[in-house]
Amino acid sequence: MDPVVESELRTPDGYWRVQVVRYGPGQRWYRVIHATTQVADRVPLATVQRILGDAMATLEPVQEGELGAG
Q: What is the pLDDT of residues 16-65, one digit of tens each?
A: 999 999 998 889 999 999 999 999 999 999 999 999 999 999 999 998 77
Averaged pLDDT, 4-23: 96
The answer to whether position 13 is within a domain reads yes
Q: Is residue 63 included in any domain, yes or no?
A: no
pLDDT at 26: 87
In this structure, is residue 8 part of a structural domain?
yes
Q: What is the extent of the structural domain holding 18?
A: 4-55
Confidence (pLDDT) at 69? 58
Rounded Cα gap, residues 38 and 64, in angstroms: 20
In a domain, 65, yes or no: no
Residue 21 within any structural domain of the chain: yes
pLDDT at 63 (0 to 100): 84
Across the beta sheet with 60-61, what order do the strands follow?
A: 37-43, 27-34, 16-24, 4-10, 60-61
Residue 62 located in a structural domain = no
Total domains, the chain = 1
